[in-house]
Chains A and B, each alone.
Chain A
Amino acid sequence: MKIKMLLAGITAGVMFAGSVLASTLDDVRARGKLNCIINTGLAGFAAPDDKGNWAGFDVDFCKAVAAATLGDANKVNYTTATGKTRFTKLAAGEGEILSRNTTWTFSRDVDLSQTFIGVNYYDGQGFMVPKSLGVKSAKELDGASVCIQTGTTTELNLAEFFAGNNMKYNAVPIETNAEAQELYKAGRCDVYTTDASGLYATMISFDNPSDHMVLPEIVSKEPLGPVVRHGDDQWADIVSWVLRAMMAAEEKGITSKNVKQLASQDNKDKEINRLLGKDPLQGLSKLGLSADWAVNVISQVGNYGESFEKHLYPLTIKRGMNALYKDGGLHYIPPIK
């Protein structure tokens, strides 16, 4: 009798373990909350604000997806991940989105079976040094001790840059940004290297940011973007079009202030009408989204530019490559048709 019960229990367990493959959107709706994987703490991108709530550029994107799918930008559970654990956590289903300044590379996309849904920040690896070091270029760093945050593409870029310039260096690999900062401040390293955005975020948290500088060389291409698991195209489409909607809104001048107004009137620009649900957008029902999806995103989170200004301008980061194409940047959005 007991053995029978045990067997029944185990069989049930096996069946349960085998039946986790429902649609991601259904899972999120059934739960009523979006699970989002973010950085353990990087000023401007994902860091707790003075009230203890997560805020930042990457956090905004989680909110935008929650606004589009659930209608409420606050229905998000945040899970933090280090550079090392992020893909494992995404693959294990701890979140539906990985929104954690993740570089889009071939092997991550293909070999790890992830889907990169676009680029929300064009970055590149840079070097930060104390001004007192008297270095003006990364090419003068021969023999330096370099603190690196592991679990990123950073190690490889660093090795290639130094080898390419026939320079030697002493790598000091550290797991998290916070610890790496401490070592840099204590003088264990001459240089700290990570994505330039991360350098600015780190520098702003120092007591005397002006004692440090980011060297002009950017030694790599780091297109950062949100990631989802392979295998659910509907979900990947939702997430990628939320990003595009935010950028399209900036392009069309739709902001969190005027979105309600624009949504209630007939606009000359029909693309605005289609984006805001005034005119039908063919195929929207296949994504499983309601007509006001973009209105929710823009009214509750803001357009791409608003999010950028709010979180990244304080770090003295300029738009640069991250401006829209019409302003000389790289963000070129497919039409909303």
Chain B
Amino acid sequence: MDFLNDIPWMLIAASLAKTLFLIFGVVLPIVSYTVYAERRVSALIQDRLGPNRTGFPISLFGFEKDLQLFLGGLGQPVADAMKFLLKEEFTPAHVNKFYFWLAPVLAMVPALSTLAVLPFGNFLFGQKMVVADVNVGILYVFAVASVGVYGIVLAGWSSNSKYPFLGSIRASSQMISYELSLGLSAVPVLMIIGNLNLSEAIQYQIDNGWLLLPFTDGKLTLRELFLWIPVFVSFIIFTISMFAETNRLPFDLPESETELVAGYHTEYSAMKFALFFLGEYAAMIAGSSIIVVLFLGGWHVPFLPINTLESSTTPAGIALGFLHITAFFAKVVGILIFFIWVRWTLPRFRFDQLMKLGWLYLFEIALVNIFITAAILAWVK
């Protein structure tokens, strides 16, 4: 049994623990509460109340009233999840069964897989807070995200129905088009950092200030000031493309209710529908995390000490480790709130406008931006 000794059990156990913590401890709760936040923020914007009644059902255990915390309605995500799980799993007769069942899985898995390379904290208990610290971090994210198209394409095709099919065609052409500006807008940032590894990207921003806010290291040089211009352009294009990639309003053409009923998931119900829903929000979280890592310093908190591998087992190091993880996800939640805010503020684009924006403006601006960055890097010292 020689090969059993070769297996790095400690590494596998640590990776598994980090993965479970990331997915079930952080991302899925954030997903369910983003849905809640979406409903409460939209209510706020539209001068309504939103779901503010559902509490945690402790009245089942003999208490007089359900538990209400803070704003009220915090039990709503739990109730929604229960509803999705308990509803009838209905499969229409005219669908292509195998692919119909496969599609929601393919929509969910890539979105969660992108989380593997995210450095969501510094060190904690002697472990680096990233599942796989690979040297192609950002490319991995783009690659896995591009596989996410299959879920949507298959959903639309296997439904054997016209609205889902139109929705999936729109989704895939939109995602393929915006992948270009997404990738190109990240290039200036990678040129400045000089590394594809996401941990290194954060390390660079710790040493030189966050790319979008270059004064966070306490000083501001002329070079940083010049580089801030292409970085800001990159940030805008990256964020817009991220909206299109995750099918969020103002680019939610694939599921625009007024034209396509619900787009590619029209025929889906219960937990299969919920998987599309979860996949979309998980992709939003992954996208926001990439924005945070590339432009907003990742888990870094300015003017705070940074724990090392050695100090991460001491009480102060553990506190600092948790603080960094909290800082990372606080920034992610900030971006998510921005996503929601935009959704309830802007009207939907027309499909030709969407394609024109992607191909005629964002693509070219991102391309020119690369040359400007190269010029600044070469001449401004």
Judge: A and B partners, yes or no: no
Interface residues of A (CB under 8 A from B): none
